[in-house]
Amino acid sequence: MARMKFLCDADRCIDCNACVTACKNENEVPWGINRRRVVTINDGKPGERSVSMACMHCTDAPCAAVCPVTCIYPTDDGIVLHNKDLCIGCGYCFYACPFGAPQYPKVGNFGSRGKMDKCTYCAGGGGSEAPGSAAEYAKYGSNRFGDGKLPLCAEMCSTKSLLAGDGDIIAQIYGERVRKRGYGSGAWGWETAYHEDIKL
């Protein structure tokens, strides 16, 4: 069974934010919610690297464990989905997430932050709406996965630094790249997300 993951090759990422734009457009993400973002480490210094980050769809997802109403759950493909009908907007998933993936539509004083939203791997939502339906799209965004497609952020990456797909395959692609060009700064976030790292 394929286990879906993300891998951002920080040595190829040029901080163009095409992934961010693709995600926002494809899922009609509201203002202020940033499902995907690009963070630049050591900006302006030698060794500057940019990493594109959204939900990593972790193994033993801490967000799912900590949710008081158990509205987050992993699917058989390893994609972590959540049910906005059950979400009470407590904000605990954001405290637990090592990658800052959960986003909320409102500021959040007095617990008013609203229903959590995050990267769905373009696989729709974890609620009761029919996959691929208009109702699902309005709440969770596009369901490309149901059509057998990969997330749009990785598809639109201008340098093919953001890889999405079966974990073994993208690990292999990245490993080959590193071997061919002779350098690689590692699979950012893999140790924390999947409890495994890619040997280079």
Write the interaction track for other proteins spanning residues 11-40; mark x where CB under 8 A is met and - where it is not.
x-----x--------------x-x--xxxx
Which of 1, 31, 109, 134 contacts other proteins by CB under 8 A?
Answer: 109
The reply to whether 199 sits near other proteins by the rule CB under 8 A is: no
The reply to whether 65 sits near other proteins by the rule CB under 8 A is: yes
Q: How far apart are CA 38 and CA 20, in angstroms?
A: 8
To the nearest 10°, report the CA torsion of 157, 166, 175, 97.
70
CB 87 within 8 A of CB 71: yes
Which of 158, 159, 172, 192 contacts other proteins by CB under 8 A?
Answer: 192
For the chain, the distance separating the N- and C-terminal CA atoms, rounded to the nearest angstrom, is 25
Residues within window 147-166 making contact with other proteins, judged by CB under 8 A: none
CB 188 within 8 A of CB 195: no
Element (H, E) at 93: helix 92-96
**Least distance CB 4 / other proteins (angstroms):** 20
Of 2 and 70, which CB lies nearer to other proteins in the complex structure?
A: 70
The reply to whether 51 sits near other proteins by the rule CB under 8 A is: yes
Options 79-87, 139-147, 153-161, 166-174: segment touching other proteins (CB under 8 A): 79-87
The reply to whether 114 sits near other proteins by the rule CB under 8 A is: no
Q: Which of 52, 62, 63 is nearest to 12 (CA)?
A: 52
11, with CB counted inside 10 A (0-12, 13-18, 19+), is middle
Which of 3, 26, 75, 91 contacts other proteins by CB under 8 A?
Answer: 91
The reply to whether 176 sits near other proteins by the rule CB under 8 A is: no
Q: How far apart are CA 19 and CA 38, in angstroms?
A: 9
Q: How far apart are CA 27 and CA 99, in angstroms?
A: 20
The reply to whether 168 sits near other proteins by the rule CB under 8 A is: no
- Which residues in this chain contact other proteins in the complex, by CB under 8 A? 10-11, 17, 32, 34, 37-43, 45-47, 49, 51, 53, 62, 65-71, 85-92, 94-100, 108-111, 113, 182-186, 188-189, 191-192
